[in-house]
């Protein structure tokens, strides 16, 4: 029986096999042929599909199965999950018995959780359990959510940003914000258009956001189409400008999440002060985000060693911890 931990994110899908480790880490994009046939046909998933975002020919659409971290179209999600399973287990007998834990946002409604489990069941996952992504990420970073000590984590993905405090098998406080990494990308896109008169594609804006967080050089070179002439053009953009563009988005996230402190019991403050707040997710890599979070929360901030894959790794580890799944999971 295959045992999988799945982080089905708005931006990226990460799958961790209990025995093999990370077996898939690719964009959550699917390429569908939509014209001239009754049934939509999957042409590509993951990175090969993402490469055609913004450049797909007529009759072919690049589709994102999730929005704000949850399923909005059950059929599209089912088709996507089935395609992912075929990538991981190409032979039919390998897909016969799959047990999986799938991460979901803490703020997801009961209906959104049910839609995810239904899509997983119809895709061929016979035994699926949903687990809050904050808990899965904590487990992936070595935290035990069952111990008698309060822990606080912040998960900033593509569609949602969440802060969760938990202890002894239960959630004490949490806040969700559906402003996250995708809004950072959109801010970069609008900035290039309005201040540099440069039209950049979605993939280019995403790449610039990521590069600005890790770039050691003072500027980045951006390619696109001149908004006035329509001709291709290169522009040199200072990294400091990109950081300032992202600041209003990151501040909106930190202000929303910091409201969680109002629900934190006074007795829990000492635990969080001692251990710090663990931060993971792709959005947490934005330059200056951790400093802004530390100013808003007043607690020390620690960035996860594997911020992009710890949710899937924690979901996989939880398959071997039935007590944890009984406490936090929903089948």
Any known ligand binding at 312? no
Query: Residue 284, annotated ligand binder?
Result: yes
| Contact in structure between 173 and 260 (CB atoms under 8 Å) | yes
Confirm whether residue 102 is marked as ligand binding: no
Q: How far apart are CA 78 and CA 270, in angstroms?
A: 44
Q: Is 22 a known ligand-binding residue?
A: no
CA dihedral 300, 131, 4, 113 (to 10 degrees): -130
Residue 321 assigned as binding residue: no
d(CA 206, CA 316) in angstroms, rounded, equals 28
User: Is 84 marked as binding a ligand?
Assistant: no
Angle at 65 between CA 39 and CA 118, to 5 degrees: 80
Q: Is 76 annotated as a binding residue?
A: no
The CA distance from 138 to 304, in Å, is 9
21 is in an annotated binding site: no
- 159: annotated binding-site residue? yes
CB 68 within 8 A of CB 99: no
Q: Known binder of ligand: residue 224?
A: no
Does 208 count as an annotated binding residue?
A: yes
Whether the CB-CB separation of 146 and 140 falls below 8 Å is answered with: no
Instruction: Show binding-site residues for ATP.
Output: 10-12, 158-160, 206-209, 282-285
Known binding-site residues equal: 10-12, 158-160, 206-209, 282-285
């Amino acid at each position: 029986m295959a045992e999988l931990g799945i982080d089905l994110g708005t931006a990226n899908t990460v799958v961790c096999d209990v025995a093999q480790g990370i077996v898939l880490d690719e964009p959550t994009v699917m390429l569908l042929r939509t014209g001239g046939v009754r049934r939509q046909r999957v042409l590509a998933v993951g990175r090969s599909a993402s490469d055609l975002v913004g450049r797909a020919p007529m009759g072919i659409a690049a589709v994102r199965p999730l929005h704000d971290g949850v399923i909005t179209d059950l059929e599209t999600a089912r088709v996507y999950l089935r395609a992912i399973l075929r990538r991981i287990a190409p032979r039919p007998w390998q897909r016969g018995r799959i047990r999986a834990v799938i991460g979901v946002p803490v703020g997801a409604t009961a209906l959104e959780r049910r839609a995810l489990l239904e899509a997983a069941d119809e895709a061929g996952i016979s035994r699926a359990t949903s687990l809050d992504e904050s808990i899965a990420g904590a487990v992936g970073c070595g935290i035990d959510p069952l111990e008698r000590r309060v822990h606080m984590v912040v998960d900033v993905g593509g569609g949602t940003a969440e802060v969760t405090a938990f202890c002894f098998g239960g959630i004490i406080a949490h806040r969700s914000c559906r402003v996250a990494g995708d809004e950072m990308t959109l801010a970069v896109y609008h900035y290039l258009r309005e201040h540099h008169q440069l039209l950049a594609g979605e993939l280019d804006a995403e790449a610039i956001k990521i590069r600005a967080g890790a770039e050691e050089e003072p500027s980045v070179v951006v390619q696109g189409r001149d908004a006035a002439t329509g001709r291709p053009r290169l522009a040199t953009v200072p990294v400091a400008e990109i950081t300032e563009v992202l600041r209003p988005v990151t501040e909106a996230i930190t202000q929303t999440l910091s409201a969680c402190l109002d629900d934190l019991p006074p007795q829990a403050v000492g635990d969080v002060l001692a251990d710090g707040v663990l931060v993971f997710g792709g959005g947490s890599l934005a330059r200056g985000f951790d400093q802004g979070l530390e100013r808003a929360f007043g607690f020390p901030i620690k960035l996860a060693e594997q911020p992009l894959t710890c949710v899937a790794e924690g979901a996989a580890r939880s398959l071997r911890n039935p007590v944890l799944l009984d406490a936090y999971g929903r089948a």
